[in-house]
Chains A and B, each alone.
Chain A
Amino acid sequence: MRLAIDHATTYHFAGPIRRGLQRLRLTPLASRGQSVIAWDIECDGAAFECGYDDEYANRVTLVSLTPGTREVTIRAHGLVETRDEAGVVGRHSGYLPLWHFTRDTPLTVRGERIAALVAGLDIGASGDQLATLHALTERVRAAVVYTLGASDVATTAEAALLAGRGVCQDQAHVFIAAARALGIPARYVSGYLLIDGRAEQEAGHGWAEGFVDGLGWIGFDVANAICPDDRYVRVAAGRDYRDAAPVKGLTSTVTPAEGAEPQSDALSIALSVQAVATA
């Protein structure tokens, strides 16, 4: 399937920018199941600084925000050809050893709730990791009900379990923490998803991948209870959302004059994912 993606994020800063950088992970790369036909990032109110592949083999673009401006728009858009590989991404590549994906991160710290969630799921000597991960998907889906607005980007897996609600990111974090509790390497993936009848979306998508001996990395989208197919585009991966976040920024703005009405930063996202005819 050929997907056309257009993803624009606009930041409205409370005051004129003094200095600011944004680290973008907004470029999908070719992998099993996808090839990139065309892709581009355009900035308004920001300038390209440098680009490189990070430790997770994600393509990173660093941009600096133009001092004095208050509004910045980052637009990533292009065409990606996808194939249904039943979620299989394949062998581990890159130079980070697999154990790296079995360790806690701030967002996926394993606590008693994760322990309770995986109770009884132990794989055993001849256990089937794949079946375990599928079963885990169901458990997470039941334990964290998909709900908009109940969490934010800083919500941890344990906190999401406590709340019992969350978005795809929270479900993925719970899945990752739980898989690691079972001794299975797991990682977070950010990307895009084609949704039938909803070309215009509010946010990108996020899901998890677990490493299964013999098969390699396999995707699990808890929110939709499936393994990613040709409606999915992988953009970046890492131990948790923070490693794979589409945008990580550090901005300082000019302090508003005394007595000025305090304002807070705001952002708006315009995202469209559509299937298009191949030429």
Chain B
Amino acid sequence: MTTPCYDEMREPDGTVRPAYDGYRQWLEAQPPGLLKRKGVEAEAFFRRTGITFNVYGAADAEERLIPFDPVPRIITASQWRKLSRGIDQRVRALNAFLHDLYHRQEIVRAGRLPERLLQGNAAYLPQMAGFTPPGGVYTHIVGIDLVRTGEDDFMVLEDNARTPSGVSYMLENRETMMAMFPELFTRVRVREVSDYPRRLARSLAACAPAAFAGDKPTVAVLTPGIYNSAYFEHAFLADQMGAELVEGSDLKVEGGRVAMRTTRGWQPVDVIYRRVDDEYLDPLSFNPDSVLGVAGIMDVYRAGGITIANAPGTGISDDKAIYSFMPEIVEFYTGEKPILPNVPTWRCSEPDALAYVLDNLAELVVKEVHGSGGYGMLIGPTSSKKEIATFAAKLRARPDNYIAQPTLSLSTVPIFTKAGLAPRHVDLRPFVLVSPHGIDITPGGLTRVALKKGSLVVNSSQGGGTKDSWVLDD
């Protein structure tokens, strides 16, 4: 925690970096109190539009807002070009990796990935073995979580290959910024993100099963329902794509297809963008008690009657134990050196690594291999001796359940506080679409920001907020 972290807006001597120059000029010309007033406006706006977020495990099902900070996070065109190449490469590798895992597992045969990582891994779905999804696409939508530690130092913290969420915040944040500061966008040229839903619809349609790809394929968004934490996003995307927002109870297998119950009768669906976890997708194949999915959808899927996005079983590729092998994976499938590095990671399943991690717990971040959202993790530097001791016991009991990473000095971007602009740690989740036509990366993504001073936890469930993320036009 002693290394100074990279401030994305200012040089160490306080001068504003080129990326933020246009913004600074605009800001200096604004009347004092503007940001504060706009912040209040934004909150009222979000409440009215219903952009809310249910926090898992919160005592009441009260809808909460993810705080929005009105200072943009800015990335230059050239930085973005490099990032895009790295993301593109990584996503290509992820899809090739998934295809291989569910077919010959050449990477295991070649000795580049230990078989034990797959054995007993619940994210590996035998039901997918020997099956190739329509168009060969596994991860139709990917979110790559990036952190930054220097001018050109971006690292991948996590791959989200199941059902990455948050894209609605990316879109709404931009809408909000444009509504609040219209003249700012005439001064600084920022690349567009608002066509994401259209691109998503096009990308999904391009993945329709070959037999039904002819005329306009029917796309539907499958949601667990209005009590799901991301329901707003499901409704938002369906609305923006012009797709039906369906629940499991709206669907059934009919005529060898998955069909939805409409006021005119049962209508077949070609592509289902599901926001329901694998386990609940098909009571005939997975959890028999699930009422969120569709009985028989896996049969129709394997018979070629529907596209499921993302494909079931993609979770194996964003497993944290697999993550540590991503550099090897990228090289194995692309034949290239990884453009984006991983965060250095110790696999606690390896005795030497475990010993090191146990000796240095106070300096490290330890994560559960299958956990998500910042639950079940230890952040050494901010934990008490007692917390560390408790965690060490858990670690010794099940070392292969954990990985450890150094506490990174994440870059900061200013947020608006009562005392004026103040730097806070951020990460970035760009959203990537995959179809047989190629890989499509929306410029920017979702910037999550730790609102507490010094905090490194950006998760919205743990007090994080979001920012509009700008990629500057050339």
Contacts and interface: CB of A to CB of B under 8 A. Distances in A.
The reply to whether A and B meet directly (CB within 8 Å) is: yes
Interface of A: 19, 21, 23, 48-55, 57, 60, 62, 64, 94-97, 99-100, 103, 248, 250
List 3 tightest A-B contacts by C-beta distance, closest first. Answer: A50-B303, A95-B130, A55-B129
B131 A50 contact: no
Nearest to B104: A95
B255 interface: yes
A54 B252 CA distance: 20
Given A21-B296, A23-B299, A64 B284 contact: no
Interface string B294-313: 01100110111100000000
Contact of A95 (B102, B115, B253): B102
Nearest to A95: B130
Which residue, A19, A23, A51, A95, has most C-beta atoms of chain B within 10 A? A95
Contacts of B120: 103
A251 to B, nearest CB: 10
13 contacts: A21-B296, A49-B254, A49-B256, A50-B256, A50-B303, A52-B299, A55-B130, A64-B253, A95-B102, A96-B129, A97-B105, A97-B108, A248-B284
B214 to A, nearest CB: 19
A62 B252 contact: no
Contacts of B283: 250
Interface in B242-292: 252-256, 283-284, 288
A52 B302 CA distance: 6
A57 B102 CA distance: 14
Interface residues of B, number: 31
B103 interface: yes
Contacts of B253: 21, 49-50, 62, 64
A54 B125 CA distance: 12
Interface string B90-110: 000000000000111100100
Nearest to B128: A55
B78 interface: no
Contacts of B118: 97, 99
Given A62-B300, A97-B105, 16 more contacts: A23-B284, A49-B300, A50-B300, A52-B303, A53-B130, A55-B126, A62-B296, A64-B253, A95-B102, A95-B104, A96-B126, A97-B108, A99-B115, A100-B126, A250-B288, A250-B295
Nearest to A96: B129
B127 interface: yes
B119 interface: yes
Contacts of A103: 119-120
A54 B299 CA distance: 9
A21 B130 contact: no
Contacts of A51: 303
Contacts of A48: 256
A51 B115 CA distance: 32
A252 to B, nearest CB: 10
Contacts of B129: 55, 94-96
A250 to B, nearest CB: 5
B212 to A, nearest CB: 13
Contacts of A250: 283-284, 288, 295
Interface in B118-161: 118-120, 126-131
Nearest to B126: A55
Given A21-B284, A250-B295, A54 B254 contact: no
Q: Which among A50, A51, A99 has the greatest number of chain B C-beta atoms within 10 A?
A: A50
Which of B119, B255, B303: most chain A CB closer than 10 A?
B303
A97 B115 CA distance: 10
Given A51-B303, A250-B295, A19 B131 contact: no
Q: Which residue, A19, A54, A248, has most C-beta atoms of chain B within 10 A?
A: A54
B109 to A, nearest CB: 10
Given A21-B284, A95-B102, A97-B115, A57 B130 contact: yes
Contacts of A19: 252
A94 B103 CA distance: 8
A177 B254 CA distance: 38
A19 B304 CA distance: 23
A107 B127 CA distance: 18
Nearest to A239: B126
Interface string B338-353: 0000000000000000
B302 A49 contact: no
Contacts of B304: 52
A21 B118 CA distance: 32
Contacts of A99: 115, 118-119
